[in-house]
Amino acid sequence: MENKQLMMGNEAIARGLVESGCAMATSYPGTPASEILSSVAALEREFRTGMHVQWAVNEKVALEIAYAGCQAGLRTAVSMKQVGLNVALDPLMSAAYMGTKGGFIVISADDPGPHSSQTEQDSRLMAMAARIPVLDPDSPRQAREMIEPAFRISEAFGIPVMLRPTTRVCHARQDVASGVIVDLKRRPAFEKDPARWAATPKFRLKLHGDLERKLSEIAAHAPTAPVKLNAGPKRRARAVVASGVAAAHLKEIASDPDLTDRFDLYQVLQPFPLHAEFIEEMGRYDAVLVIEETEPVIEMQLADRNRVQGKLFGPVPRVGELLPEGIESIVKGFCKMPSNLRTAPAGGRRPTLCAGCPHRASFFAIRKAAPRGIYTGDIGCYTLGLNLGAVDTVLCMGAAISQAAGFYHAYKHTEKPPDIVAAIGDSTFFHAGVPALIDAKVQNAGFVLMILDNRTTAMTGGQPTPAASFGATGNPLSPVAIEPLVNGCGVEFCRTVDPYQVNETIEALKQALEFCRTRGPAVVVARRSCLLERGPEAKAERIGIPVIVSDACDGCGYCIKHFECPALVMSGNRVSIDPAVCTQCGVCLNVCPKNCICPA
Amino acid sequence: MDRSTDQQIIVSGLGGQGVLLVSRILAESAILKGFPVLTSEDHGMAQRGGTVVSHIKAGRFSSPLIRPEQACGMIVLAPENLPLHQHFVGPGGWMAVNGTASGENYPDRNLFAVDADALCRKIGQPRAMNLVMLGFVLGKSDWNEFAPSFFCNMAEVCAAVRERFPEKVSASAIPALECGYEAATGG
């Protein structure tokens, strides 16, 4: 039997990188991309190829580190989620002009839906804007198989190449045959060439010309040309063109007995630049239907607008994930067949913070200390503080701090400015919070910043932050502590609390609020390990305070509404504790207005 | 499509209940039998106690997602999800539900209900409800209580668990699978 392993899409991508001799891999975690780098790290631990594997402080830094590796002639890759690409766009736009020496792959994982993101943006459109080719895999298997051709394009044409998987590729699992781990035995060899690597605007014009020439050649590159997936009808009447997971759905739909050979089905592997010959070929059909996620990238490049249907003109929805049942209905309509779209009922339970999560205690304290405040939030598990009424805004990574400053400036000339409390996680603070805090200090913006330090990047699966003393492969590193960093930003009020000590935390927040009214930003660090962490620090912190709900409970539901701990459940006309879920953190002892939650 | 080998199965539950482990075990079982397999999972924000659903497709498929009425069966770890996800299961399909559920609203499907929460507590593994449910379905399948039967049987699933998962997982998983299996077969 062939050596087939069950691999998540992200593991398959990692496998592809290691099998292609990738020498440096960097990333910042973000769903749905996180497991790419952790899988590379697992392979490096197993095979010890000497690869540099690291979580960087943010996506921009990650991209710049990996890019330098390719300037030195090595094969390198950077992975991130789609909104991470926004952060990394500055170096990417410039790197596209300068090009590559060793192969360089930018993996940007999109999240149509969105399932776990702020936007449904299409990284292929960003590749188009940066003028770099992008490959769009339909499955874990194809994602792995695209890595080597991506490195080859990058090296043959001297250009960064994007791989754009989506959630349904990243988080699908499939039986994937694994190949041999290759050591290319390349030595780093950076050749100085200032006209290229440090180009001034005059040279940039030439580089831009070079870039456009590369793209027109890549639009004729045979290995990534579109493929025809079915025999199709005798006459060229209708073509359906798909890429990514939409193509995977279509392969299956096109084999339904009533749809067999109703149209020619094409899969685009490289949505940008679209192959010139293919564009011409599509002009020979009476009608072309394009199905892609999430922006009309292929559709825009097909010249003859009268024959082309898709998202710009036609039946394909512009928002949301394209589910196979929706595609089936669109394709049947395109073939003038009756279809009844069966839609799924809406509903379901919303996510919530885990039982015993230290963030819940922090948010409870924020509500108590500044009951009528404006609460700016950020990206991470603690976005779920909005369930508790303790998060009013979520914009993007790091924005809790700059938005708090913005609200301060907006309100500062009013009679009674509101209290403003920003909440940001430890990893997010390092990622994009530090420049914002410097700005707030310089501008003397009066608000309290609570840094929710659970010693990990929890939402994405527990990747180490710069304050951890280890890296992606478990390798020892030199940590950077949060408090000295806060002090280094010039902030004069910085207090560290254990959020489980609810009253002390409320007190610290009140003092911070007092301070910030006259003396600029104040910081409270709420430090307690995520309960999903298994390290020695986390274990040492565990406490056990069993609680009960007394008979005096009248079932008012205050604790469930305002604290929302999954261990507090309404049974009959009163609240009880679910012992299977309760972590015995004891925080809820502070919650019941009638003191009905008591120590057991 | 040959429904005795090409099968599509939904596993529905809440984040933290172990939907992912059940789908991984089924996928590994398919691979051990030499079937191609594709699954789709919910991650990230969806995992924090929210509704989660896994799609498992064993056989000749290319899409990771199941279309409505194409699933031959569904394992429901949280009974509140039944109305949300029942549309995946086609006429004649089976739905195995943890807790109390009635087949009245779903006359064209076979509904089996079992209190897996109670069963896993009985064997001292309060977190193993997911595997009790999987064992329960395998029991119903092996005793031909629905057709076509599951693409793998109890022995094959246990073999996959032993071979593809760490000892620590298999040591507790097998008794939970057996517990559910016995509940289904009345043994």
Q: What is the CATH number of the domain that holds A588?
A: 3.30.70.20
Find the helix or strand (DSSP H, E) in which A106 lies. Answer: strand A104-109
Q: Which amino acid is it at A131? A: R
Strand bridging mode A104-109 / A76-81: parallel
Q: Which residues of B68-77 are buried (b: 16+ CB within 10 A; e: fewer)?
A: bebbbbbbbb
Residues A298 and A395 in one domain: no
Instruction: Evaluate whether residue A127 is within a structural domain.
Output: yes
CB–CB contact B24 A6 (8 Å): yes
Q: What does the DSSP 8-state code read for residue B111?
A: E
CB–CB contact A172 B46 (8 Å): no
CB–CB contact B45 A31 (8 Å): yes
How far apart are the CA of B23 and the nearest CA of chain A, in angstroms?
10
CB–CB contact A138 B62 (8 Å): yes
Residues A208 and A229 in one domain: no
CB–CB contact A175 B31 (8 Å): yes
Mutate to test the interface with A, among B29, B60, B65 (most CBs of A within 10 A): B65
Place of tokens 């999800």: B81
What ranges make up the beta strands (E) of A284-361? 287-291, 308-309
Among candidates A328, A347, A459 on the partner chain, residue whose Cβ is nearest the Cβ of B44: A459
User: In chain A, which residues have pLDDT < 50?
Assistant: 1
Using a CB–CB cutoff of 8 Å, tell me whether A192 touches chain B. Answer: no
How far apart are the CA of A166 and the nearest CA of chain B, in angstroms?
12
A89 in helix, strand or coil? helix
**Mean pLDDT (whole number) for B26-47:** 87
CB–CB contact B45 A116 (8 Å): yes
Instruction: Evaluate whether residue A341 is within a structural domain.
Output: no
Inter-residue contact B101 to B82 (CB < 8 Å) = yes
Instruction: Evaluate whether residue A340 is within a structural domain.
Output: no
Full domain range(s) for residue A462: 358-540
* 3-state secondary structure labels for all residues of A462-502: CECCCCCCECCCCCECCCCCHHHHHHHCCCCEEEEECCCCH
Instruction: Evaluate whether residue A422 is within a structural domain.
Output: yes
Instruction: Evaluate whether residue A352 is within a structural domain.
Output: no
Q: Give the whole-number percent of chain B exceeding pLDDT 70.
A: 96
CB–CB contact B28 A354 (8 Å): no
Number of residues assigned to chain A: 600
Question: Rounded mean pLDDT of chain B?
Answer: 92
Mutate to test the interface with B, among A34, A35, A173 (most CBs of B within 10 A): A173
Using a CB–CB cutoff of 8 Å, tell me whether A185 touches chain B. Answer: no
Place of tokens 């009922």: A345
CB–CB contact A349 B51 (8 Å): yes
Using a CB–CB cutoff of 8 Å, tell me whether A534 touches chain B. Answer: no
Residues A438 and A561 in one domain: no
Among candidates B16, B50, B84 on the partner chain, residue whose Cβ is nearest the Cβ of A345: B84
- Name the closest residue on chain B to residue A255, using Cα atoms: B1
CA distances from A303 to A239, A280, A306 (A): 15, 8, 9
Residues A551 and A506 in one domain: no
Domains annotated for chain B, with CATH where assigned, are 7-182 (3.40.920.10)
Residues A157 and A126 in one domain: yes
Interface of B with A (CB under 8 A): 14-16, 23-24, 27-28, 30-31, 34, 36-51, 61-69, 80-81, 83-85, 87, 126-127, 164
Among candidates B48, B65, B127 on the partner chain, residue whose Cβ is nearest the Cβ of A324: B65
Domain boundary among A218, A250, A268: A218
We report the CATH number of the domain holding residue A388 as 3.40.50.970
Q: Is the pLDDT of residue B187 over 70?
A: no
The model's pLDDT over A320-371, given as tens digits with 9 standing for 90+, comes to: 999 999 999 999 999 999 987 777 788 888 889 999 999 999 999 999 999 9
Residues A394 and A292 in one domain: no
Domain boundary among A540, A569, A589: A540
- Name the closest residue on chain B to residue A346, using Cα atoms: B84
- Name the closest residue on chain B to residue A253, using Cα atoms: B63
- Could you report how far apart the first and last alpha carbons of chain B are, in Å? 35
Rounded Cα distance, A483 and A496, in Å:
8
Residues A180 and A244 in one domain: no
- Least confident stretch, A215-224, A337-346, B81-90, B133-142: A337-346
- Interface contacts A/B by beta carbons within 8 Å: 128
Rounded Cα distance, A218 and B110, in Å:
54
CB–CB contact A252 B62 (8 Å): yes
- Closest by CA to A330, choosing from A264, A228, A253, is A253
- Restricting to A residues 13-42, those with a Cβ less than 8 Å away from any Cβ of B are 31-32
CB–CB contact B39 A351 (8 Å): no
Instruction: Evaluate whether residue A349 is within a structural domain.
Output: no
**Mean pLDDT (whole number) for B14-36:** 94
CB–CB contact B46 A116 (8 Å): yes
Residues A313 and A214 in one domain: no
- Name the closest residue on chain A to residue B42, using Cα atoms: A171
Q: Is the pLDDT of residue B46 over 70?
A: no
Tell me the helices (H) and strands (E) count for chain A, helix number first. 21, 22
Rounded Cα distance, A265 and A138, in Å:
14
pLDDT at residue A581 in the model: 87
- Restricting to A residues 329-388, those with a Cβ less than 8 Å away from any Cβ of B are 342, 344-345, 347-354, 381, 383-384
Chain B residue numbers with beta carbons less than 8 Å from the beta carbon of A249 are 62-63, 65
pLDDT at residue A1 in the model: 45
CB–CB contact A168 B40 (8 Å): yes
Residues A310 and A371 in one domain: no
Instruction: Evaluate whether residue A573 is within a structural domain.
Output: yes
Neighbours of A232 (CB within 10 A): 20
Q: Phi and psi for A76 in degrees, rounded to 5?
A: -140, 165
Alpha helices in A288-357 (DSSP H): 297-301, 324-334
Q: ipTM value, please give it.
A: 0.94
Chain B residue numbers with beta carbons less than 8 Å from the beta carbon of A349 are 14, 49-51, 80
Instruction: Evaluate whether residue A278 is within a structural domain.
Output: yes
Residues A552 and A444 in one domain: no
Domain boundary among A334, A368, A388: A334
Chain A residue numbers with beta carbons less than 8 Å from the beta carbon of B50 are 348-352
Residues A200 and A58 in one domain: yes
Residues A556 and A517 in one domain: no
We report the CATH number of the domain holding residue A246 as 3.40.50.920
- Closest by CA to A110, choosing from A56, A173, A30, A37, is A30
Q: Phi and psi for A134 in degrees, rounded to 5?
A: -135, 135
Among candidates A4, A167, A174 on the partner chain, residue whose Cβ is nearest the Cβ of B38: A174
Per the structure, the count of domains in chain A is 4
Among candidates A4, A348, A351 on the partner chain, residue whose Cβ is nearest the Cβ of B48: A351
